[in-house]
Amino acid sequence: MRVYYSLYGRLLNKESLYNGFKKVWRAKGTAGIDEQSLEQFASNLSNELDKLLIELKTKQYRPSAVKRVEIPKDDGGVRKLGIPTVRDRIVQQCLNDILSPIFEEQFHPSSYGYQPHRSGHDAINKATMFIRQYDLKHVVDMGLSKCFDLLDQELILTSISRRVKDGSILRLIKQFLESGVKPITVIGIIYSWPLEWAKSVVLTEVNFLHMNIQCLSQTHQFQETSVLFL
C-alpha cells in the first residue's frame, strides 16, 4: 500500500488556492461566522488568497468555528448544518482535492456513496444485477441515524495516517475537526455549504472505507446503498 509523505506543499501556491476558490464559488453558499460573503471575498480575491497563502506557509493558519444552523424537518426534528467561512472552505476544498484520489482507489467496486461519477441510479442498477445474477430475493435499504454527528474522529485520523504521513496535513485536518461551532437557529430554508469539514466528502469516504474493509473481511455480498445520502 503506497503512503504519502510530502503533500502539504501542494497547498502552498496561489493557483491551487484559486482552483479551490472556483469550486467553492460554483457551490455558492452563505457566509460563515465572520459574515464575509463569497461576493465580498471575490471582490478582493488576489489579496485574500495572498493572505491565506502566507498563513499556510508560515503555519499560522487557524480555521474558524463553523456557524451552526438548525433547519426544521418535516418529521418535527431539525437538520443541523455547519457553515464554514469562505477562506476555510477554500482550504477544505484544496485538502479534499489532495486526499480524495488517495483513498478512492481502495473502495469496494460496489461502493457508491460519495464516489465521483457515481450516483444512486448506478447503485440501483448494481443491486438489480446482483438480484438477477445470484437469484436474490431482497434488497435492504438502510439509513444511518445521525451518521455525521457520530463520526469517530480518532478512527478517521488513524485511518488517514496509515497512508498520509505528512504531519502538516494531519495537523491541519485535526484543526478542522476541532474547530468547534457557533450555534445559530434559523427558521425556514437557507442555501449554504451543507456540512462542516468533519462531515466533508473525503472524511466521510475515509469513514466508509473502514466499513468497506470490514465488510470485505466477511463472506457477504456487499452493496453499499446505505451510504447514498441523497
How confident is the prediction for the chain on average, in pLDDT?
79
In 10-85, which ranges are continuous DSSP H helix? 14-27, 38-43, 45-57
Residue 1: strand pairing partners: none
For the entire predicted model, the pTM comes to: 0.77
- Cα dihedral 123, 97, 88, 180 sign: positive
What's the rounded Cα separation, in Å, for the pair 23 and 82? 18
Residue 216: all three cell numbers together: 470485505
What is the mean predicted confidence (pLDDT) over 35-52? 98
Given this model, what pLDDT does residue 229 score?
31
Given this model, what pLDDT does residue 114 score?
67
Supply φ then ψ for residue 71, to 5 degrees: -105, 125
Residue 92: how many CB atoms within 10 A of its CB?
24
What's the rounded Cα separation, in Å, for the pair 18 and 152? 31
Residue 137: all three cell numbers together: 430475493
Given this model, what pLDDT does residue 53 score?
98
List the strands of the sheet with 78-83, edge to edge.
Answer: 78-83, 66-72, 181-183
pLDDT in tens, 89-148: 999 999 989 998 888 777 777 777 767 788 888 988 988 888 898 888 877 777 766 666
What's the rounded Cα separation, in Å, for the pair 14 and 125? 42
Given this model, what pLDDT does residue 222 score?
44
What's the rounded Cα separation, in Å, for the pair 15 and 181? 30
- 99 by DSSP, 3-state: which? helix
